[in-house]
Amino acid sequence: MSATVSTRIPPPLPDLLLVGGTPYFSPYPSPRPHFARAWNALGGRVLYVEVGGPAAFYRERLRQSGGEEPVQDRPGLFVWRFEKFLGLPYSYPDFTRRWNLQFRLPALKRMLERIGFADDRFVALYYGWWWAEWMEGLRASHHVYDCVDEHRAYPDFDGNPDRAAYVWEQEVRMLERTDLLLATSPALLDDRIEHVNAWRYLPHAVDLEAYAPCIDSMLPEPGDLELLPQPRAMVMGTLTAKLDFGALEHLAAAMPAGSVVLVGPPGRGVKPRAMDARLKWLGPKPAVMLPSYFAYAQAGMIPLLPTPFNYGSSPLKLLEYLAAGLPVVASRNPVTEEMAQAAPGVFLADSAAEFPEALRLALEAGERLGRAEIRKAVEGRSYAARALELAEALAAPVESAESAESGTPA
């Protein structure tokens, strides 16, 4: 069920409207711009609709391009930013979301017309759960929903049942208008399949080229990392409330030697602190520096709290650690369990108490296998491979809800 390396000649790719993307021109790596560039590199034109995150990167690129929208990043790849209205979050409550989307839809149609996207001749790919109005108002050949999170269980909801019910209601509206559902975790398919006609399990991809220097060349060791004793178990990325910091503190206290290292900015409400001499937070780092930190770590860590949101997650860091040749210790969920069965460098923990032993096994595997061998587990998980999987799903029969119930292919 996972993406594989493909040497096939790609089918002619249709125009792609990618809706709900993170800031395209940001220097920080993000999967959605990678996917847009991969689709474009395979011959398909793309209009990338940027939503949320800092606007400064887009505005600067817009200024450099003379103010003409959409901004063209490269031949056939265009970017347009969907701005929020101050004081009017487009996701909640319902009347605000509807008004905001309907207000912006004519502008989007003008962008599509300006770059020559014809009605019924482009694919619309959506991230997020709130785009039903655009699905109703856009004449796409296919409306595709790439479901990457258990949206109704967002940590920010704090268990609010009204907010969760509202999100699920809107997501079902989207699912009922979806021609193809993609899901990055089997857990996300469980109760969504009944609302769609066609679906495909399509795991995340990774920027293999970015992490190749961790294996193929010598990188300078960062000065703040050089001071910390080895072995170094690293948590890389935004430090959000979904992480199990208690497990990290337990691990640091139980380690006979070495360091637990946190690298990345704190998320909302998170205040990293050194609870033990072996637990160190080094703060956020520029994206260009991240491979150097991976290169001088000995294991990657993915400690997740046992929540519904985390059960449905497909951690990108799992692929990034493996692409850098690092063995991984991760909390168990359907995706990490699937990867542990396929990759010799992945070890699972079901509780905070199991992390020390899992790390010991991971470090032994790292020494025994070496980085190049560990990296092989993700060599087929490029963004080009994921783009090909989607193109083939659009051009050929895909799994349907009926086939899922009968156990037979569609």
Annotated domain spans of the chain = 15-205+382-404, 208-378
Q: Is 331 helix (H, G, I), strand (E, B) or coil?
A: strand
pTM (2 decimals)? 0.91
> How many alpha carbons lie under 13 Å from residue 5 in its C-beta half-sphere?
7
Angle at the Cα of 248 from the Cα atoms of 246 and 251, rounded to 5 degrees: 110
Give CA separation, 260 vs 102, 221, 273, in Å. Answer: 48, 17, 12
**pLDDT at res. 117:** 98
Backbone dihedral angles phi then psi of residue 157, each to the nearest 5 degrees: -75, -15
**pLDDT at res. 339:** 97
What's the CA gap between 171 and 191, in Å, rounded?
A: 12
Nearest to 211 by CA among 270, 294, 153: 294
Residue reference for tokens 């809107």: 170
What's the CA gap between 337 and 192, in Å, rounded?
A: 21
**CATH 3.40.50.2000 for the 208-378 domain, yes or no:** yes
**pLDDT at res. 293:** 97
Contact 244, 304 (CB under 8 A): yes
Identical fold for domains 15-205+382-404 and 208-378, yes or no, is: yes
Question: Residue 380 has which token pair?
Answer: 């087929």
What's the CA gap between 36 and 61, in Å, rounded?
A: 17
Which of the listed CATH numbers 2.40.40.20, 2.60.40.60, 3.40.50.1370, 3.40.50.2000 matches domain 15-205+382-404? 3.40.50.2000
Nearest to 316 by CA among 296, 295, 297, 290: 290
Give CA separation, 402 vs 270, 408, 409, in Å. Answer: 44, 8, 9
Computed over its alpha carbons, how large is the radius of gyration of the chain?
22
Question: Residue 206 has which token pair?
Answer: 């990774």
**pLDDT at res. 8:** 61
Q: How many CB atoms are closer than 10 A to CB 68?
A: 9
Nearest to 358 by CA among 247, 212, 222, 205: 247
Contact 65, 71 (CB under 8 A): yes
Question: Residue 309 has which token pair?
Answer: 């949101």
**pLDDT at res. 213:** 95
**pLDDT at res. 407:** 43
Per-residue pLDDT of the chain (410 residues; tens, 9 = 90+): 333 444 566 678 999 999 998 999 998 878 999 999 999 999 999 999 998 888 999 999 999 999 999 999 999 999 999 876 655 555 666 777 788 888 889 999 999 999 999 999 999 999 989 899 999 999 999 999 999 999 999 887 777 888 889 899 999 999 999 999 999 999 999 999 999 999 999 999 999 999 999 997 789 999 999 999 999 999 999 899 899 999 999 999 998 899 999 999 988 777 766 555 678 999 999 989 999 999 999 999 999 999 999 999 999 999 999 999 999 999 999 999 999 999 999 999 999 999 999 999 999 999 999 999 999 999 999 999 999 999 999 987 555 544 444 443 33
User: What sign for the dihedral angle of Cα 180, 183, 187, 188?
Assistant: negative
- Quote the crossing angle between the two packed helices 383-395 and 31-41, to the nearest 10°: 70
Nearest to 316 by CA among 286, 293, 336: 336
**pLDDT at res. 373:** 97
Q: Is 409 helix (H, G, I), strand (E, B) or coil?
A: coil
Residue type, 308: P
What's the CA gap between 271 and 284, in Å, rounded?
A: 13
